[in-house]
Amino acid sequence: MATPEELLTRNLHEVFGERDGDRRRAVIAELYDADVLFQDPEGAVRGREAIDGKVSALLDGAPASFVFRPTGPVRVSGDLGVLTWAFGPEGGEPAASGTDIALTEGGRIVRLHTLLD
């Protein structure tokens, strides 16, 4: 069963950082509960397809050179994980940064909240 640390790390790189839609959707199906709730400053969406739509829109609107990278270790307390990240050109100044907070259950993410800096 995946730990919150594994889920958040894979989520950053293999979901939010994955530009290939087929690969991203396969990982979403693996990491997220079917009824997952995702909330960011734009609002809340529910379900795997809605998350894929959010990620697709984000990546489609960003330069191809932009990548997500963690800015610290995943911190875990039981079934809750927290990961800080930056998004921008590899090796350059980030265009955005924030924090992901995930509630997990049964080795899947059931709630994901993103806070922007």
- Look up residue 63 and give its DSSP letter: -
Could you tell me the two tokens for 6?
A: 């594994």
pLDDT of residue 80: 98
Q: Which CATH number is 95's domain given?
A: 3.10.450.50
The total domain count for the chain is 1
Tokens 């960003």 locate to 62
Query: Which pLDDT band, with edges at 50, 70 and 90, does 43 fall under?
Result: very high
State which residues form the domain around 54: 4-116
Per-residue pLDDT tens over the stretch 9-33: 999 999 999 999 999 999 999 999 9
Per-residue pLDDT tens over the stretch 63-87: 999 999 999 999 999 999 999 999 9
Average per-residue pLDDT in the chain? 97
Query: Which pLDDT band, with edges at 50, 70 and 90, does 58 fall under?
Result: very high
Dihedral sign from CA coordinates of 98, 99, 100, 101: negative
- Is residue 76 packed enough to be buried (19+ CB in 10 Å), middle (13-18) or exposed (0-12)? middle
**Among residues of the chain, what percentage have pLDDT more than 70?**
100
